[in-house]
Amino acid sequence: MRKLIRYLFFGVLAASLAGAGFLWIVVLKSNVKADTARRIYLPSASTFNDLIDTLRSSGSLRNERTFLVTARLKSLGQSFKPGSYMIESRMSNNHIVNIIRSGKQVPGNVTLNNIRTLDELAGKIGKQIEADSASLSQFFADENNYSADGFTHATLISVFLPDTYQLYWNMDPKGFYRRMLREYKAFWNDERKDLAKAENLTPVDVSILASIIDEEVVKADERPRIAGVYLNRLRQGIPLQADPTVKFAVNDFNIRRVLDEHLETDSPYNTYKYRGLPPGPVRCPSKPAIDAVLNAEKHDYLYFVAKADFSGYHHFSRTLAEHNRYASAYRRELNRRRIYK
């Protein structure tokens, strides 16, 4: 009887050790190559086979068979979540399965900058999240998707403030918009809203002016002064006569010299023809430009023109006669440099 008990004890012990060894080798032992850190992407329609193909093509796993065993033991095929995941050095099969099954994604950095139109925005973002440019453009084209938030197709671009954001890759167009809207609302706190109201402007009005300033300014320290010029002109009912709005109207942002033919363009964005603000921003307005409008310099300048030394700075004038002298000098320099368009 004692022998039988002893045999049973050692049998159970051996089975336990074998089980523990199996658990260690198959489930808990590192199965990712050393010094490996790769991001994998699992689109929304991915199957379990797609997941295995993705892991295989990433070259991350030491042993695909042990991963398959672990995945089946933990029913990964019935419960994994699409998205973007980091497969990091020395992860175990158990760790990989758990993050994919729980949807524990690692967000990626998405930078918005130098964007002038919604189509351009769709093109850039469509390369960085799962939603492609066509689906993003389609979302932007339908005002029903955002009119309840107070935006039109012309003003929607004001939502997308240039910055770097951490976004989950498997966002759809609506998810991307809602995330950016949250960032927009967080930026437009009560203090900024009060400053805009003091100037009799809405946040969208401020964004429109800021977008023009972003296109005008080379030297950041001039933002508040240029903002003051535009605000003075608005208060006095003087057309803004802002060259960036003309470039937007003719859809040519490479123009270095605005000509009379450009000024004749019949567009609500042509602020030489139409008083007041254009229908929407002429680019994604930057946060510094928005703050420059909200904290504009108080002065009585009504005009400005680039300096003829091409330093990036401007001459500011109170009278049209003074402005015309500076403008003539700048045109002469354009001619001397053979800049005709």
Burial 40-61 (b: 16+ CB within 10 A, else e): bebeeebeeeebbebbeeeebb
pLDDT reported for residue 4? 45
Burial class of 248 by CB neighbour count within 10 A (0 to 12, 13 to 18, 19+): buried
pLDDT reported for residue 22? 46
pLDDT by residue, tens only, the chain of 341 residues: 554 454 443 444 344 434 444 454 555 678 787 676 788 899 988 999 999 999 888 888 888 888 888 888 888 887 888 999 998 888 888 899 999 998 889 898 999 998 999 999 999 999 999 999 999 999 999 999 999 999 999 999 999 999 999 999 999 999 999 999 999 999 999 999 999 999 999 999 999 999 999 999 999 999 999 999 999 999 999 999 999 999 999 999 888 888 889 999 999 999 999 999 999 999 999 999 999 999 999 999 999 999 999 999 999 999 999 999 999 999 998 898 888 78
Instruction: Give a three-class secondary structure readout of the chain.
Output: CHHHHHHHHHHHHHHHHHHHHHHHHHHHCECECCCCEEEEEECCCCCHHHHHHHHHHHCCECCHHHHHHHHHHCCHHHCCCCEEEEEECCCEHHHHHHHHHHCCCCCEEEEECCCCCHHHHHHHHCCCCCCCHHHHHHHHHCHHHCHHHCCCCCCHHHHCCCEEEEECCCCCHHHHHHHHHHHHHHHCCHHHHHHHHHCCCCHHHHHHHHHHHHHHCCCHHHHHHHHHHHHHHHHHCCCCCCHHHHHHHHCCCCCCCCCHHHHCCCCCCCCCCCCCCCCCCCCCCCHHHHHHHHCCCCCCCCEEEECCCCCCCEEEECCHHHHHHHHHHHHHHHHHCCCCC
Set out the domains of the chain in order of their start, with CATH numbers: 24-102 (3.30.1490.480), 108-187 (no CATH), 190-336 (no CATH)
Q: Is the dihedral of CA 280, 283, 285, 288 positive or negative?
A: negative
pLDDT reported for residue 13? 35
pLDDT reported for residue 27? 57
103: left (phi over 0), alpha (psi -120 to 50) or beta: left
pLDDT reported for residue 24? 45
